[in-house]
């Protein structure tokens, strides 16, 4: 009896051992399947993330970063030709400005003395062209024209025109340069990057603020790694990252125009024209048919500004 009992007990142990081993094997298989499935899900997620375009990431980051709002103070006022329909403005060094003016039969490229506003050299354009954006690249002035894809290149010393070119923007509005790349606008929300050798578009960004297109990008200037853009029909300047197309900040200048109107200059048009003296950190702004050009210094906006205010003031 004892022998039979021991055999039965031993058999029960073996049975229990097999059952436990079987359960452990099943659990191991289950955990292995979970691990494999989880790994597949993570791998697919990584692939999807890597597949998101850089422009999408730019849109995401542009919605999350802190946008700065700026007011200004006037440092200096200078005379400006009140008949100049300013379309492009650039600082040329030694208190000299180069300016492109518009209107048919009145368009010009001119060299202007900053302190006096005197036009020192003037190149009158053909009556069929409406002058627009202007920038200075090395010893060349590069200009675009309205409602065409035609531009001109001038010698900065005497404003003699020595080359005509065509570009790939839809229209010619604004131009700027960092010394290596041309930046252009065509009145839409697109900021273009242009190869100065081939004059072909190499890259472009659709500029948005708070989910809305920033249309009517106009005169441009490259300042300390940013593109500053007048927005037509507003008193606003948008500060834009040229690398991502993200809006970095807004400069609100409505009181400049209001001040001119209050002193009787009723014939003025909109704010347009930004120039940058990089050696002396001076910012100059003016407008179409304005009798004055201003050197301004920025400061954080003194009153509270929110996104809805910017949409109302800066997005026509």
Q: Please say whether the beta carbons of 273 and 219 come within 8 A.
A: yes
Instruction: Give tens-digit pLDDT for 236-260.
Output: 999 999 999 999 999 999 999 999 9
- DSSP H or E run through 201: strand 201-206
* pLDDT score at 65: 64
Residue 153 confidence class, pLDDT cut points 50, 70, 90? very high
* pLDDT score at 40: 66
- In this model, does residue 24 exceed pLDDT 60? no
- In this model, does residue 20 exceed pLDDT 50? no
Beta strands at 217-223 and 212-213: parallel, antiparallel or unpaired: unpaired
Sign of CA dihedral 204, 210, 215, 221: negative
Residue 31 confidence class, pLDDT cut points 50, 70, 90? low
Task: Give me the phi and psi of 175, to 5 degrees please.
Answer: -140, 145
Total-model pTM: 0.80
Which residues touch 43 (CB under 8 Å, ≥6 apart)? Answer: none
- In this model, does residue 47 exceed pLDDT 70? no
Burial class for 206, CB neighbours closer than 10 Å (0-12, 13-18, 19+) = middle
Which residues touch 176 (CB under 8 Å, ≥6 apart)? Answer: 133, 135, 182, 183, 220, 221, 222, 227
Query: What's the chain's average pLDDT?
Result: 87
Q: How far is CA 1 from the centre of its chain?
A: 96
First to last CA, the chain: 103
- In this model, does residue 3 exceed pLDDT 60? no
- Tokens read off for 10: 């031993």
* pLDDT score at 5: 39
Which DSSP letter does residue 92 get? Answer: E
Q: Please say whether the beta carbons of 272 and 230 come within 8 A.
A: yes
Mean pLDDT computed over 70-93? 98
Burial class for 175, CB neighbours closer than 10 Å (0-12, 13-18, 19+) = buried
Mean pLDDT computed over 93-109? 98
Mean pLDDT computed over 269-297? 98
* pLDDT score at 162: 85
Q: How far is CA 33 from CA 15, 29, 157, 288, in A?
A: 27, 6, 76, 71
- In this model, does residue 16 exceed pLDDT 70? no
Task: Give me the phi and psi of 229, to 5 degrees please.
Answer: -130, 125
Mean pLDDT computed over 305-314? 96
Q: Nearest-5° angle of CA 278, CA 284, CA 287?
A: 145
- In this model, does residue 12 exceed pLDDT 90? no
Q: Which residue in 155, 144, 175 sits closest to 274, CA to CA?
A: 175
């Amino acid at each position: 009896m004892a022998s039979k009992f021991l055999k039965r007990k031993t058999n029960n142990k073996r049975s229990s051992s097999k059952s436990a081993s079987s359960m452990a094997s099943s659990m191991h298989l289950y955990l292995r399947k979970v691990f494999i499935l989880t790994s597949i899900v993570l791998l697919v997620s990584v692939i999807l993330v890597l597949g998101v375009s850089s422009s999408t990431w730019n849109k995401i980051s542009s919605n999350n970063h802190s946008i700065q709002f700026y007011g200004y103070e006037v440092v200096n006022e200078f005379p400006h030709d009140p008949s100049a329909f300013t379309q492009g403005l650039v600082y040329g060094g030694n208190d000299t400005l180069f300016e492109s003016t518009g209107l048919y039969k009145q368009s010009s490229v001119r060299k202007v003395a900053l302190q006096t506003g005197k036009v020192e050299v003037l190149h009158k354009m053909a009556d069929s062209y409406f002058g627009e954006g202007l920038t200075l690249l090395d010893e060349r002035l590069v200009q675009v024209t309205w409602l065409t894809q035609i531009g001109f290149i001038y010698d900065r010393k005497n404003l003699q025109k020595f080359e005509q070119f065509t570009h790939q923007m839809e229209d010619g509005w604004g131009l700027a340069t960092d010394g290596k790349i041309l930046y252009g606008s065509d009145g839409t929300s697109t900021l273009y990057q242009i190869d100065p050798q081939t004059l072909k578009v190499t890259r472009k960004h659709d500029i948005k603020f708070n989910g809305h297109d920033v249309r009517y990008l106009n005169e441009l200037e490259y300042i300390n790694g940013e593109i500053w853009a007048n927005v037509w029909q507003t008193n606003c300047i948008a500060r834009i990252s040229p690398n991502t197309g993200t809006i970095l900040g807004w400069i609100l200048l409505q009181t400049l125009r209001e001040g001119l109107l209050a002193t009787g200059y009723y014939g003025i048009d909109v704010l347009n024209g930004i120039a940058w003296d990089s050696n002396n950190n001076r910012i100059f702004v003016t407008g179409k048919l304005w009798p004055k050009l201003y050197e301004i210094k920025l400061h954080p906006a003194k009153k509270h500004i929110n996104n809805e205010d910017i949409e109302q003031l800066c997005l026509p």
